[in-house]
Amino acid sequence: MENPGQNSNATEELAQSCSKRPRVEVNIADLPVDPGLRIRISDYHPNERDKIQRHYLQREPYQPKDHDFPYIQFGKLSHRFNSVWFKEHATWLEYSPMLELNEVEILLLLKDLETGKSDDINRVVLQNAHENLKLIAPDIQKEIANAGAIETTNIIINGLGDALFSILVDQSRDISMKDQVVIVLCYVDLRGHVIECFLGITHVTDTTALTLKSTIESMLAKHGLSISRLRGQGYDGASNMPGELNGLKTLILLENKFAYYVHCFAHQLQLTLVSVAKNNSEIANFFNLVTNVFNVVGASCKRRDILHEKRIAEVIEALRKNELKMSFLLAVV
C-alpha cells in the first residue's frame, strides 16, 4: 500500500523540478518534422508547450512518400507500408523512417481504426489523456465559452422563428470602465409562453441615441433579425432613451411605428424604492451604514477575515444557547 506522505513528497519534488527547469527559447523553424526525432511536449518548458503543440497541429502530417519502406515478415507473408495510404489518410497519417515502427502493428491499427474496433488506440488515448489535457489553457477556455455562446444563441433564434418580438436594452460600465450595451429578446412562443432571453452584450464607444440604434441594428442583423419585426422596446428613464426628439425610442419609431415604447418596470420599481428609502430616515441610515461597512471591510482582506471569524463565533454561541436552529443555519448556508 502506498504511503500518502511519499506521494506528497514526490509531487512537491516534481513541482520544484518543473519550476527550476531553465527556459530555452525554441525556434519553431528548427523543430524536427520526423515524428521519431520530436521531443515529447511535456519535456519542453511549460511556457513553450502551447506554442510548440500549436505548430505541430497546424502543419501538415509528415509523409515521406519516396521512402523505401522495408518489408516485415508476418507469418508466411511479408508486408510493408503502402504510400497510397498517405493519400487516403492525408490529414492525419504520419510515418517515421527513424523509428521504422512495427509494420504489422501499423497495419492492424489502420484496419481497426477503419472499423472502429481498436482497443489499442483507445488504451493509448486514455493513457496519454492527462498529458494532452489543454482545457486549462486560456485560449481553449475562451473557445469553449464562445462555442457555448454560439450554440445557445442559435437555439434562441431557432425558437423565435418568424415570430414578432420586443427588445429590452440597458447599458452600464464594466470593471474596465468600458460602456457595454445588453440586449434581451422578448417574444411569445408557440405554446403561448412569454420568453425573455439574453441575446448579447457589446462594447460601445459612446451612449448617444444614434450609436445605440446602430448597435441594436447590427446585433439584430447578425442573427438575421430586422427592426421591421419589432413590436416593443423597453429602456430605463435616461434622457438618451425615451427622449421625444432624438431619443433611441423616437429614432426606432421613425423607422417602425409599431415598436411601442414601455418604460422598464424593473427600473420603475427601483426608482420607487429609492424614493421611498430617501424619505424614510431609518431606511436611509441603514443603507448608509451598510455602504460604509462594505467599503471598510471590503477594502481589506484582514478585516474581512476578522468579520468572518466573529460571525462564526456568534453563530456557534447562538447554537449553544438554542437561539438559532440548525435547520435555519443549513438553509442559509
Could you give the CA distance from residue 254 to residue 257 in angstroms, rounded to a whole number?
6
Which residues make beta-bridge pairs with 74?
Answer: 77
CATH number for the domain whose boundaries are 163-269: 3.30.420.40
The mean pLDDT of 53-79, rounded to a whole number, is 79
Percent of the chain having pLDDT more than 70?
Answer: 76
Among residues 163, 235, 176, 230, which one has the least CA distance to residue 203?
176
Q: Report which residue type is found at 124.
A: V
The mean pLDDT of 219-240, rounded to a whole number, is 85
Task: Give 245-282 pLDDT, tens digit per residue.
Answer: 678 888 888 888 888 888 878 888 888 888 888 888 88
Q: How far, CA to CA in Å, does 30 sit from each of 55, 182, 220?
A: 11, 48, 48
- Return the sign of the alpha-carbon dihedral for residues 58, 62, 63, 66: positive
Whether the Cβ atoms of residue 202 and residue 181 lie closer than 8 Å to each other: yes
Could you give the CA distance from residue 82 to residue 65 in angstroms, rounded to a whole number?
9
Among residues 200, 121, 190, which one has the least CA distance to residue 160?
190
Predicted local confidence at residue 108, as pLDDT: 47
Predicted local confidence at residue 317, as pLDDT: 84
Task: Give 299-317 pLDDT, tens digit per residue.
Answer: 888 888 888 888 888 888 8
The mean pLDDT of 211-223, rounded to a whole number, is 88
Could you give the CA distance from residue 202 to residue 216 in angstroms, rounded to a whole number?
10
Could you give the CA distance from residue 329 to residue 13 in angstroms, rounded to a whole number?
42
pTM for this prediction: 0.46
Could you give the CA distance from residue 181 to residue 240 in angstroms, rounded to a whole number?
13
Predicted local confidence at residue 302, as pLDDT: 86
Residue 24 C-alpha cell reads as: 530555452
Predicted local confidence at residue 326, as pLDDT: 57
Question: Between these two residues, 88 and 185, which has the higher pLDDT value?
Answer: 185
User: What residue spans define the domains of the chain?
Assistant: 24-132, 163-269, 281-332
The mean pLDDT of 75-101, rounded to a whole number, is 77
Largest CA distance in the chain: 99
Task: Give 155-207 pLDDT, tens digit per residue.
Answer: 888 888 888 999 988 887 777 778 888 899 999 888 888 888 988 888 888 88
Task: Give 115-153 pLDDT, tens digit per residue.
Answer: 555 565 566 656 666 666 666 778 888 888 888 888 988
